[in-house]
Amino acid sequence: MELKRVVVTGLGALTPIGNTVPEFWDNLIKGVSGAGPITHFDASKFKSQFACEVKNFNATDFIDRKEARKMDLYTQYAIVAAKEAVKDAGIDTETEDLNRVGVIYGVGIGGLHTFEEEVLNYANTKDTIGPRFNPFFIPKMIADIAAGQISMIYGFHGPNFTTTSACASSSNAIGEAFNLIRLGKANIILAGGAEATIYPAGVGGFNAMNALSTRNDDFAHASRPFSASRDGFVMGEGSGCLILEELEHAKARGAKIYAEIAGTGASADAYHITASHPEGLGAKLVMQNALEDANMTTEDIDYINVHGTSTPVGDISEVKAIKALFGDHAYKLNISSTKSMTGHLLGAAGAVEAIACTLSVKNDIVPPTINHEEGDDDEQIDYNLNFTFNKAQKRTVNAALSNTFGFGGHNACVIIKKYTE
């Protein structure tokens, strides 16, 4: 069976550094930090009092007020990114075969705020009036609902489900969509991810693990991947959506083509519930699997958008994996962590970073890793590698590789390349 080619024909993004794709990309290239004091709740007693929140967001600008009340914030984010992507791709629901248009969205946690809110309401009222829950509690909270809600808005009847693999979730969503389309199971799939967990349970839970940066007095510089002074990741939120489409279908309807999905990979560390393998064995394997899937060699890759969360152990293991797999070519690559600007969007990270890779391939420019200071070097990291510190770099990007790794040892990788006939 001859596999079909899969291209990217639309993009949508709602992020801490931009509420549309053009705004996101402009601030990414400029090296703008999305970090700020937490506004979703009073974080004054928390170890981490800042995060990368979406700014100036009003759900009712995009969603009917009555319907928005039935949705957790993460679902609202998902819908907004999907709407931008569908419009960008020029999908006409009047002429399209909607039975062959699907939605696959990744989420790491889901409706955490809804869960937290409902349980607290129950705890505060059960002694006086008995258990009382919002009838929309479950359908607001469950992780799969964002994909379902998007399908209902447009009437998309194709494959519809959610991938949940912690911070690798939306990269896995892209991989699943890619495989379904190239096997001929769908013409178009909205592949993305969303997350909105900057609430007490989310921040408190990650603080308890000592996973978050506590640089409260210098939050704009707190996400500092590959710097010796890194002290944890900065939590982010938002959504990203890519329209994946079978090539001949895209050409037939005259769609613009951003880039081509070359291949995807998955692997497991099988090592620890939260820590990455210290030698990066799972990270190396997932990149190798993606290259084999794409029928590409290490020399074909120009840019790696790394997982690069700014954690003491994780950054080191990913560098080890890159050096072990790419050998001498590692020194010819551009490497950057866009989490230095967006923070870590958890289940939405893979989709947002795949958008960054797509635009890097399209525009031949690599976004930076910000916040590295002269002399702030970790002796376990090879600084002869080009981490694209602090300033975007122009170069030909024929192919970009995006890494995402999640708690539980889940690893996912997506390779995006220039589209050519």
**Catalytic residue numbers, as ranges:** 167, 307, 344
Type of residue found at 196:
A
What would the two tokens of residue 229 be? 């002074």
Distance separating alpha carbons of residues 418 and 5, to the nearest angstrom: 13
- Tell whether the torsion through CA atoms of 339, 167, 142 and 99 is positive or negative: positive
CB distance 44 to 285 below 8 Å: no
Longest dimension (CA), the chain: 69
Q: Which residues of 171-181 are buried (b: 16+ CB within 10 A; e: fewer)?
A: bbbbbbbbbbb
Distance separating alpha carbons of residues 359 and 379, to the nearest angstrom: 33
- Tell whether the torsion through CA atoms of 318, 319, 323 and 326 is positive or negative: positive
DSSP string, 337-403: -THHHH-B-GGGHHHHHHHHHHHHHHHTEE--B----TT-B-TTS-TTSB--BSS-EE---SEEEEE
DSSP state, residue 330:
G
Using CB atoms within 10 Å of the CB of residue 282, give its burial: 0 to 12 exposed, 13 to 18 middle, 19+ buried: buried
Q: How many CB atoms lie within 10 A of CB 61?
A: 10
